Amino acid sequence: MAHSLKILFFLFSTLSIIPLSHQLEQHPLDSLTAKEFIRVQAIVNQSHPTSTTNLTFQYIGLNEPDKQAVLSWLQNHPTTTPPPRQAFVVARINHQTHELIIDLSRDDIVSDRIHHGFGYPSLTFQEQIDADQLVSNHAPFLAALNKRGLKAEKVVCGSFTVGWFGETKQNGRVVKIMCYYLDGTVNLYMRPIEAITVTVDLEAMKIIHFQDRLVVPVPKAAGTDYRESKQKPPFGPELKGITVVQPDGPSFTIDGSRVRWANWDFHLTFDARVGPIVSLASIYDTEKQEFRRVMYRGFVSELFVPYMDLTEEWYYRTFFDAGEYGYGLCAVPLEPLRDCPANAVYMGAFVAAQNGMPIEMPNVFCIFERNAGDVMWRHTETMIPPDLITEVRPDMSLVVRMVSTVGNYDYINDWEFKQIGSIKVTVGLTGLLEVRGSKYTHKDQIDEEVYGTLLAENTLGAYHDHFITYHLDLDVDGESNSFVKSKLETVKVTDQTSPRKSYWKVVSETAKTESDAKIKLGPDSAELLVVNPNKRTNMGNFVGYRLIPGSVASPLMTNDDYPQIRAAFTEYNVWVTPYNKSEKWAGGVYTDQSRGDDTLATWTSRNRRIENKDIVLWYTLGFHHVPYQEDFPLMPTISTGFELRPANFFEYNPVLKVKGPNNVRWPNCSVSSSGLN
């Protein structure tokens, strides 16, 4: 959620300004290059001279071309020119929010619109750093530290967005500063300095309010440091090394942003707000001898993380990690052999600094082939004596990974492509809990609502949620698709046709409007499909892909609670909308202090037609996180996700003729009848 001062400085130290270099032919969906960032900055600065203007760049990204223009270019490439390259810019200019569209083919501003509605753009790293630094010289803050016996040089602070709680007037761009104490650990989040609140006006960059409500014990540093070098015996059992080796090199190729592996072909790019974007994902049909599109564009649209603590310093901690902080902006360099296996290949990306200059983010993606020992398909036939027929195919897949560290939490994002035609999307949560300092040292002392679990002395782990909403523009064998929801219904046998008393059948319904497609997942839900009603298999079934959910969680806050009004897009696990290029961020363009008037939930209130249309599937997965002592002082990864799996897309099993790897080797071991030796 919030970033500490040291974390922000570390991230900036790992990033670097990129020099201009020769650019290869660009794909219309490629992220902006370093050269293009510089051109955008120059164009905006020329239009709004900084000598007379207060100008900051809050977001710069690709202004995605119209979908039909991209598809037309793909169909006629290379004989036709690509759509014009454009950038979408959100800038604060003289304390107003400007939306600008920059035409990079003409080096001019196509539009410059001032946002007059509710909400503000995402925070930049630089303004968070500047805000955090203000407290170091603030006399009341230093006096509060002295009262607690804390050393000022051991304090680090982070900026927290303030949300909206029914105010009729906008508060201006403000953040609240919360601070932590090191002194014996790097695990700052386990040592919060409670009950001190500093409010900063980001436009004036000054402290506008200070409160020291009461003194709460700061949790101890002992046992909180998670660095390997700081651990002391006893240790757990040590495992022997496992090596991932591909003697013939990887089976995938990367050409610019295009990735090809096995029967998959897709486009991979990066965005400062949402992180990885997978586009034009197509799979090769060996029977038809052609690539068939599955998904036009898929990405994380928003993350909503509300905490359930109602105390003065906590009630507003209801974060929108993508819209307020930038899920891609918070991506961190991946550690070889730790974050990714030895056979991984790495890709970098660019974001814009607050002044608009490009910054390189090295190793933001890793791409690798996975053989985890799973089975793709198998059968042993024992009914044809004396023969024993056994056929097994190992499950090989391709993984694209990014890690986003949004303050205390690390999100591990995987897009996994399987030979059977599935796209498996997984998110893992690890990192550090947000904990509240407390007077309690044992659970038996607690005689009030504390909104969390006592994890260690003076340390309460707050209850909270994680809701992650994905934008999935599926084009199942074409753009015109329909959404089919099916239920398994029990049928009682009332006649004498069978000795059985009951059976179940599938009852399907095609959603005609957006309201028909809203689904809260539960025990009654069975099959959720996106089909192409214009194409059938030889057996007469509509070709399709089905959504296979992982763990299911729904909001437990009331619908009239202000954070839930802003995050009404989490009310249903599944939404379906007609394609609209402007509808891509479920929490709205301006999420900071938003009021819920520009979200996925409000878009769907128009109840548009979605049958046999170009449609977008939105899926929200969630965690209700009740902290346990095993989550202290660092949380082991917990994962969930979903799968997009073929449903009558192929005429038969698409991996029937897939061969296993041709170089399976078992070094230093042999197989005998008694086992491995």
pLDDT in tens, 484-493: 999 999 999 9
Provide the β-strand partners of residue 598: none
Q: Which residues are CB-neighbours of 299 under 8 A, at least 6 positions away?
A: 271, 274, 275, 276, 277, 278, 470, 471, 584
> What pLDDT, on a 0 to 100 scale, did the predictor assign at position 669?
40
Same domain, 217 and 276: no
User: Does residue 306 lie in a domain region?
Assistant: yes
Which of 660, 642, 616, 621 shows the shortest CA–CA distance to 471? Answer: 616
Q: Are residues 345 and 308 in the same domain?
A: yes
Which residues form the catalytic set? 321, 409
Q: Which of 114, 139, 171 is the last residue of a domain?
A: 114
Least confident of 349-363, 403-417, 451-465, 511-525: 511-525
> Mean pLDDT over all residues of the chain?
93
Within 13 Å of residue 463, how many CA atoms lie on the same side as its CB? Answer: 14
Q: Examine the pLDDT at 10 and tell me if it is beyond 50.
A: no
Interval 548-564: pLDDT, tens:
999 889 999 999 999 99
Identify the DSSP state of 324.
Answer: I
The sheet carrying 174-181 orders its strands as: 155-160, 174-181, 196-201, 206-212
Backbone angles phi, psi at 339, to 5 degrees: -75, -30
**pLDDT score, position 334:** 98
Same-domain check for residues 72 and 202:
no
CB 522 within 8 A of CB 549: no
The answer to whether residue 671 is domain-embedded is no
Q: Go through 123-159 and write b for each residue having 16 or more CB atoms within 10 A of its CB, e for each that does not.
A: bbbebbbebbebbeeeeebeebbeebebeeeebbbbb
* Residue 136 and residue 107 share a domain: no
For residue 119, being part of any structural domain is answered with no
* pLDDT tens track for 188-197: 999 999 999 9
Is there a domain that residue 485 lies in? no
596 part of a folded domain: yes
**The pTM is what?**
0.94
Residue 124: pLDDT band with limits 50, 70, 90: very high
Same domain (yes/no): 322, 356: yes
pLDDT at position 667, please?
Answer: 46
| 296 lies in some domain | yes
Main-chain dihedrals φ then ψ at residue 367, nearest 5 degrees: -125, 130
Please report, for residues 187, 243, 264, 369, 416, the alpha-carbon distance to residue 397 in angstroms, rounded to integers and kept in the order given.
Answer: 36, 17, 10, 6, 7
| Closest alpha carbon to 263 in 650, 541, 548, 647 | 650
Q: How confident is the model at residue 661 (pLDDT cuts 50, 70, 90)?
A: low
Residue 566 has pLDDT above 60, yes or no: yes
Flag whether pLDDT at 651 surpasses 70.
yes
Per DSSP bridges, beta strands 613-625 and 480-492 are antiparallel
- Cα–Cα distance measured from residue 285 to residue 154, given in angstroms and rounded to the nearest whole number: 60
Domain-terminating residue out of 180, 208, 225: 225
- Cα-trace Rg, the chain: 27
How much of the chain exceeds pLDDT 70, in percent? 94
Residue 493: which residues within 8 A CB-CB, separation 6 or more? Answer: 500, 501, 502, 503
φ and ψ at residue 166, rounded to 5 degrees: 90, 0
- Residue 3 within any structural domain of the chain: no
Q: Last residue of some domain: 63, 83, 114?
A: 114
pLDDT at 522: 86
- Which residues are 543's β-sheet partners? 532
In this structure, the answer to whether residues 184 and 300 fall within a common structural domain is: no
pLDDT of residue 568: 98
**Predicted pLDDT at 670:** 37
Q: What pLDDT is attached to residue 79?
A: 85
The token duo for 671 is 């197989």
What pLDDT digit, counting tens, does each position of 75-108 carry? 998 888 999 999 999 999 999 999 999 999 999 9
Over 70: is that where the pLDDT of 17 sits? no
504: in domain:
no
| Partners of 592 in the β-ladder | 120
- Ranking 216-220, 238-242, 539-543 by mean pLDDT, the lowest is 238-242
Cα 352 from Cα 102, distance rounded (Å): 15
User: 348 and 207: one domain?
Assistant: no
Total domains in the chain come to 3
Mean pLDDT of 345-360: 97
Question: Does residue 341 contact residue 368 with C-beta atoms inside 8 Å?
Answer: yes
* CATH, residue 216: 3.10.450.40
* Contact status, residue 642 vs residue 425, Cβ threshold 8 Å: yes
**Based on the domain organization, do 448 and 304 belong to the same domain?**
yes
Residue tagged 């028909």 (tokens): 516
Question: Do 284 and 215 share a structural domain?
Answer: no
Q: What is the mean pLDDT of residues 621-649?
A: 97
For residue 185, pLDDT beyond 90: yes
- C-alpha angle with apex 275: 274 to 280, nearest 5 degrees? 95
Calculate what percentage of the chain has a pLDDT beyond 90.
89
The reply to whether omega before 667 is within 30° of 0 (cis) is: no
In this prediction, residue 18 carries a pLDDT of: 39
- For 240-251, the pLDDT digits (tens) are 988 888 888 999
Structural element, H or E, at residue 263:
none
Residue 365: pLDDT band (50, 70, 90) is very high
Tell me the backbone φ, ψ of residue 143, rounded to 5 degrees.
-70, -35
Instruction: Verify that 181 and 322 share a domain, yes or no.
Output: no
Query: Residue 456 sits in a domain of what CATH number?
Result: 2.70.98.20
Task: Name the pLDDT band for 660 (thresholds 50, 70, 90).
Answer: confident
Domain that holds residue 602: 253-370+396-479+532-647
Q: Indicate if the pLDDT at residue 24 is higher than 80.
A: no
Residue 523 confidence class, pLDDT cut points 50, 70, 90: confident
- Same domain membership, residue 130 and residue 92: no
547 and 463 part of one domain? yes
In this model, does residue 538 exceed pLDDT 80? yes
Tens digit of pLDDT for each residue in 135-151? Answer: 999 999 999 999 999 99
